[in-house]
Amino acid sequence: MIPAAFDYLRAHTADEAFAYLQQHGAEARVLAGGQSLIPAMRFRLARPAVLVDINSLSDLSYLRINGTVLAIGAIARDSDIERAPWIGERRWSLIHDTSRVVADPVVRQMGTVVGSLCHNDPAGDWTTTALASRAAVVVRGQGGTRKVPIDEFLVDSFATAVGEGEMALGAEFPVPDDRTAGSYQKVERKVGDYATAAAAVQVSLNADGTIRAAGVALSAAGACAVRVGEAERLLVGQKPSAALIRAAADAASTRSQPQADLRGTVEYKKHLAGVLVARGLGQALARLGGQA
Amino acid sequence: MKITLTVNGTKYERDVEPRTLLAYFLREECGQTGTHVGCDTSSCGCCVVVLDGERAVKSCAMFAVQAEGHEILTVEGLAAGGTLHALQQGFWDQHGLQCGYCTPGMLLTSYALLKHNASPSEADIREGLSGNLCRCTGYQNIVKAVQQAAGVLRQPAAVAV
């Protein structure tokens, strides 16, 4: 269970990290929190020839609200989010919920949000929440820095829009308005296991109580996290009701394409996806003071 | 690759392969075998050490080269001058262990937990220790041990270790 040998390069600036990645291309992987990469290397599922360690790049450890976006640097830890002074505000409830169920509390001391997005595990939590939040990832490439919407960023299992020699510098989550709440619902056999199923939802209301915007996404329901566009379309413009929640949950269940494994059958996981979306919508609306 | 790091206050300078995991570095290069390797896949928490005085990390999911210039606290560094740390005393008094294999990780995770939250509720303790597995105790006495230690460490007379 010892990883294959690799060359270790410690970057001291983002420019240096980028130069190393440009130099080594597909041979190289970025080492951020390492909480997925290092176990994968130990199982020899990953055998990068070069690791570029970005943990010394303190200028990428930021976690700050810049006007309309929450900017999360490439080495901001999951535990930084849990402890952020604003995290208790209702508008951040989806991100708050998520930050408390990623892996386990010790893994979250090292694990990073951006690393999780780049890893793009089919059962990832941050990828799912990023979809429901309509986040974007800031990627540096040869042609400069570009902002990639999360729907384009998540390409396939363990594959993202970060190309050879490129580097994700950070993620941007839009700051939700006051009348927004969310919920992250996850079923796992034990803390730290892969999700059997999980759902991220976020809802914004108009002053008249109708739904202005909705984000609904599922984890462990496809090659990577999936947006349930049908549920979002059903919700927007409507007044929340039990029937509406039921319809959105059914859409999620239909959209879910899970793999059968020891955690459950396809049928069970599809059912669970609907249950979790219904619970999530109920909780988000309850947080907004409306009917659940 | 040459690295220098501090373990329990002692500086170690060693030449290591980059693929050497911190857990193995501590055990084999520093002789600090209190850091246990359980699952070897960052699930069980037996290998938890404290990085720079406040962050609990799983040393089987970190390379030794990443610890360059950092300070590591292992279970061997908890007791001061032959006096058990309040957490160790708590585990002793409350019977917070049976076989003892998970105990170093439990102690160090709890150490970091109390650094961030001096008055944790029972739920906080259970949540904070949810990345550490114990197959003997059923956790009851571990929770009591941490509660006892938190109480002792909150006393004004308590010496911060």
Cβ of A43 and B19 within 8 Å? no
On whether residue B161 sits in a domain, the answer given is no
pLDDT score at B161: 55
Residues B149 and B107 in one domain: yes
Is A46 near chain B, with CB under 8 Å? Answer: no
Is A194 near chain B, with CB under 8 Å? Answer: no
pLDDT score at B159: 58
On whether residue B105 sits in a domain, the answer given is yes
Is B63 near chain A, with CB under 8 Å? Answer: yes
On whether residue B159 sits in a domain, the answer given is no
Q: What is the ipTM of this complex?
A: 0.94
Residues B67 and B40 in one domain: yes
pLDDT score at A1: 81
Residues B70 and B119 in one domain: no
Is A104 near chain B, with CB under 8 Å? Answer: yes
pLDDT score at B160: 57
SS (H, E, C) chain A: CCCCCCEEEECCCHHHHHHHHHHHHHHEEEECCCCCHHHHHHCCCCCCCEEEECCCCHHHCCEEEECCEEEEECCCEHHHHHCCCCCCCHHHHHHHHHHCCCCCCCHHHHCEHHHHHHHCCCCCCHHHHHHHHCCEEEEEECCEEEEEEHHHHEEECCEECCCCCCEEEEEEEECCCCCEEEEEEEECCCCCCCCCEEEEEEEEECCCCCEEEEEEEEECCCCCCEECHHHHHHHCCCCCCHHHHHHHHHHHHHHCCCCCECCECHHHHHHHHHHHHHHHHHHHHHHCCCCC
Q: Is the confidence at residue B157, as pLDDT, over 80?
A: no
CATH of the domain at B62: 3.10.20.30
CB pairs under 8 A between A and B: 85
pLDDT score at B81: 87
Cβ of A110 and B132 within 8 Å? no
pLDDT score at B37: 96
Is B16 near chain A, with CB under 8 Å? Answer: no
Segment B139-148 mean pLDDT:
98
Cβ of A105 and B127 within 8 Å? yes
pLDDT 10s digit of each residue in chain A, 292 long?
Answer: 899 999 999 999 999 999 999 999 999 999 999 999 999 999 999 999 999 999 999 999 999 999 999 999 999 999 999 999 999 999 999 999 999 999 999 999 999 999 999 999 999 999 999 999 999 999 999 999 999 999 999 999 999 999 999 999 999 999 999 999 999 999 999 999 999 999 999 999 999 999 999 999 999 999 999 999 999 999 999 999 999 999 999 999 999 999 999 999 999 999 999 999 999 999 999 999 964 4
Residues B114 and B137 in one domain: yes
pLDDT score at B41: 85
Q: How far apart are CA A76 and CA A63, in angstroms?
A: 6
What are the structure tokens assigned to A162, written together? 């970060």
pLDDT score at A291: 44
Residues B43 and B17 in one domain: yes
Cβ of B56 and A106 within 8 Å? yes
Among A58, A106, A110, A193, most B C-beta atoms within 10 A, so best to mutate, is A106
What total number of domains does chain B contain?
2
On whether residue B11 sits in a domain, the answer given is yes
Residues B41 and B107 in one domain: no
Q: Which domain holds residue B55?
A: 2-77
Give B38-81 pLDDT, tens digit per residue: 998 889 999 999 999 999 999 999 999 999 999 999 999 999 98
Cross-chain CB nearest to B65 (options A5, A8, A109): A8
Is B108 near chain A, with CB under 8 Å? Answer: no
Structural domains of chain A sorted by starting position, each given as residue range(s) with its CATH number in brackets: 7-53 (3.30.43.10), 58-174 (3.30.465.10), 180-287 (3.30.390.50)
